[in-house]
Structure 1
């Protein structure tokens, strides 16, 4: 008898190995690959679907730099989130269930005399005689484990089967692709009880998630949906699609590979495709997801290293708020040739960062209390355009401010979100700024901006402050001015204002 992977379109014959025939799924993958490889900027539209009427439509008009995650920040994240990653016996099955990847294969006996396929029972695969190429691949895999992760079945790919099936080969290729990044984790993982098992779970998680993305019109739900949003905000659109392109190529190559060297080459090529910096973010996001719940992941994403820039990408490219309350409203994410559709929970509000064609931006109810201050109604003098921008960036109703008391002092900020105090500046400042990012001598608003920043910094007493500005030139001038005044800790980010007019407050 022979030990065979199940493929419903392949009928084995005595003495021969079953060869995989192209399935409908395979043809769909090839068609998707053909559609994607020619796209340098595939994103066209973002749809926010609340289930009530037509989806809100957002068309991104500006490319924003993705997050650059340093190795130091990456290691800090691993040290914090890796202890929550479970050490499971069957990591591929665990990751498949977690991310909602449908069961893809099974193992069967082929009885030559009766020419029948019979389901293999768990544990019945001992003392089997494998085909020479399968035996050699198994040997080389175990040798690789010995060299990289102290021996044994380091990725737990042989727990209930005698050889590496298709998903196991994908996982091996993924581990090879992420070799540098996984190697950088060793010091932090060494503190865990079962570091090798945690690595196996992380690799399996990344593998099954990549398989999910490779499905035609992939739909991610639950934690997978938040992981997709995290990938899009941390890696950027181009890198996500490059990841999908590269993974489709890898799957095609690994499916036809018969040697360890071929799989190794495919894994290395995929690693080169996404690059080490993007790989760090990808592994960090996967690590945070694998040991989390949906609500926990929604709360974790805005706290990860680089979340400030990820929030800028989320608002500029996806038109969503990168905050725990907003992310918790996400039910599913669908990637397609026309862009992305984000389905929200029924009754979801304040998810959109800006106004869209489907409705008005900004929250319509008073924001919840919390943090070092409280929300109050404030009658600030500003243009309607500036008021719109402030409401869009903070999620608070127009006419509200976030007031913080420290002793006899009180200072108003424009908002408070996920532990960060917010100050919003609309358009109208750039005309007073030189090419060297200095304010013109005749602009009296410079001293007012600096005084405001100093007061906010003093009263904040360590609470992070983020200034969100509508003009890129103003962002550069503020960073320069704050650095000179010793206010480097105030974060300045640029998010363009929707075209409704101008006018600095």
Structure 2
């Protein structure tokens, strides 16, 4: 489908955000209750799988998620604004991921510059100087909670912090004055490394926040989601091999360069929103820039009990409970884009209900008899093509389609609707979005 000429957000974004928020909330509630159900002992084999297939146990359905859609674009100003808001809500604490090996042994690392510690490795001393330069002398990324020295996981934390640190520099100056930016970096980096480790694990993800983190990243990144996993997998392998801080910086910078600024912004944004677990992500996600667009895809994975990500195969699968599949069947056909479709407008109305107070449902590509015959009902009656519109604007758009506009149609006999009816679905959708915007602005 072609890219719209205009931004359609003034018309449909609020509706999409509401639906997306409900979808994500349902996903969170369902996945938070998951307990790592039995997989039936089945290994995923090489090659593509059918869109849905039963597991060996026969009590669940495996659905493949598409990765052929474009990532959401988050600009610098949007990212800076939301990050400034999010960091004020972040609980600035970092839990040790490994059991402490030196309980009760005084390390004095949180209060003294590491560079002055005798007998420490060059890497540890370089880490200490890094913390000093950031204005937080000592163990600024809280890497020594399990004992002195920098292990493999600690090196990964440093590399990731070096990769995402520049993005966090955009936090508003007033916010930076209220909070310790290094502690924020430590918290966010820890959250990202924890979730990414779960995403890349060979076992199916069955924890609520981890599933939500994965699905939300997928909804935001589209075809770049697997690129993110491949880049992080390389960081995961390369960081432990580094013997100097300069090498760790190179590993981190390479990760940032592979991903690009937009994907790094999204990773930091979602990672920050996820600090605190499922409840935090559920409440913060609808406030993120671009969530209305991303949530259209998130809806496709609502009801997931587990997520299976295979980077070598380039596939993402979710395990759905039977009652979720049955509900989805009653709620329309799930399209590859993540939207839901019905064969008739009456079916759409039964499932979606009223458009809302003072609003009416509007078909971007009109539901004329000719369009139904050419494109089929599901192409018209779906959650991408039908949007909630203010009643007054809907009436004006309908009147515009019924009018004769020579400047547009080059005809004194054809109405806009008659002229448009002969064009392709993509052309009709592009024109429909332009018509909504121009009628709203009073241009047409």
TM-score by shorter chain over 0.5: yes
The answer to whether structure 1 residue 307 and structure 2 residue 291 are counterparts is yes
Which residue number corresponds to residue 210 of structure 1?
A: 196
Contact preservation (8 Å) 1:439, 1:477: no
- Give 3-state SS (helix, strand or coil) of 2:316's partner: strand
Match of 2:138 among 152, 155, 158: 152
- Give 3-state SS (helix, strand or coil) of 1:331's partner: strand
Which residue number corresponds to residue 163 of structure 1?
A: 149
Contact preservation (8 Å) 1:176, 1:267: yes
Contact preservation (8 Å) 2:63, 2:319: no
The answer to whether structure 1 residue 122 and structure 2 residue 76 are counterparts is no
Which residue number corresponds to residue 211 of structure 2?
A: 225
Which residue number corresponds to residue 92 of structure 2?
A: 87
Q: Give the superposition deviation at 1:283.
A: 0.6
Bigger Cα displacement from structure 2, 266-275 vs 123-132: 123-132
Distance 1:205 1:43, change over 3 A: farther
Contact preservation (8 Å) 1:48, 1:341: no
The answer to whether structure 1 residue 236 and structure 2 residue 244 are counterparts is no
- Give 3-state SS (helix, strand or coil) of 1:334's partner: strand
Contact preservation (8 Å) 1:174, 1:203: yes
How far apart are the structure 2 equivalents of 1:86 and 1:443? Answer: 65
- Give 3-state SS (helix, strand or coil) of 2:319's partner: strand
Higher helix share: 2
Q: How does 1:445-484 map to 2 (within 5 A)?
A: 446=416, 471-482=425-436, 484=438
Structural RMSD (CA)? 4.7
The answer to whether structure 1 residue 283 and structure 2 residue 268 are counterparts is yes
Distance 1:402 1:137, change over 3 A: closer
Distance 1:480 1:219, change over 3 A: same
The answer to whether structure 1 residue 249 and structure 2 residue 254 are counterparts is no
Match of 1:388 among 353, 378, 388: 378
- Give 3-state SS (helix, strand or coil) of 2:73's partner: coil
Q: Give the superposition deviation at 1:212.
A: 2.0
Q: Give the superposition deviation at 1:52.
A: 7.4
Match of 2:299 among 302, 321, 326: 321
How far apart are the structure 2 equivalents of 1:179 and 1:488? Answer: 45
Distance 1:297 1:268, change over 3 A: same
Match of 1:198 among 171, 184, 198: 184
Q: Give the superposition deviation at 1:370.
A: 8.2
Contact preservation (8 Å) 1:178, 1:279: yes
- Give 3-state SS (helix, strand or coil) of 1:340's partner: strand
Bigger Cα displacement from structure 2, 362-371 vs 190-199: 362-371
Q: Give the superposition deviation at 1:202.
A: 0.5
TM-score, normalising length: structure 1: 0.58
Q: Give the superposition deviation at 1:338.
A: 6.0
How far apart are the structure 2 equivalents of 1:445 and 1:311? Answer: 36
How far apart are the structure 1 equivalents of 2:129 and 2:195? Answer: 26
Q: How does 1:263-278 map to 2 (within 5 A)?
A: 263-278=248-263
Distance 1:134 1:44, change over 3 A: farther
The answer to whether structure 1 residue 76 and structure 2 residue 81 are counterparts is yes
Distance 1:169 1:476, change over 3 A: same
Structure 1 residues not aligned, in runs of 5+: 1-34, 37-41, 94-104, 108-119, 315-319, 414-437, 451-469, 490-505
Which residue number corresponds to residue 334 of structure 1?
A: 308
Which residue number corresponds to residue 457 of structure 1?
A: none
Q: Give the superposition deviation at 1:182.
A: 1.7
Contact preservation (8 Å) 1:85, 1:291: yes
Q: How many pairs were matched up?
A: 363
- Give 3-state SS (helix, strand or coil) of 1:163's partner: coil
How far apart are the structure 1 equivalents of 2:259 and 2:138? Answer: 29
Contact preservation (8 Å) 2:360, 2:391: no
Which residue number corresponds to residue 28 of structure 1?
A: none
How far apart are the structure 2 equivalents of 1:260 and 1:474? Answer: 56
Q: Give the superposition deviation at 1:386.
A: 5.0
Distance 1:346 1:206, change over 3 A: same
Distance 1:368 1:198, change over 3 A: farther
Higher relative contact order, chain-length normalized (CA < 8 Å, sep 6+): 2
- Give 3-state SS (helix, strand or coil) of 1:341's partner: strand
Higher strand share: 1
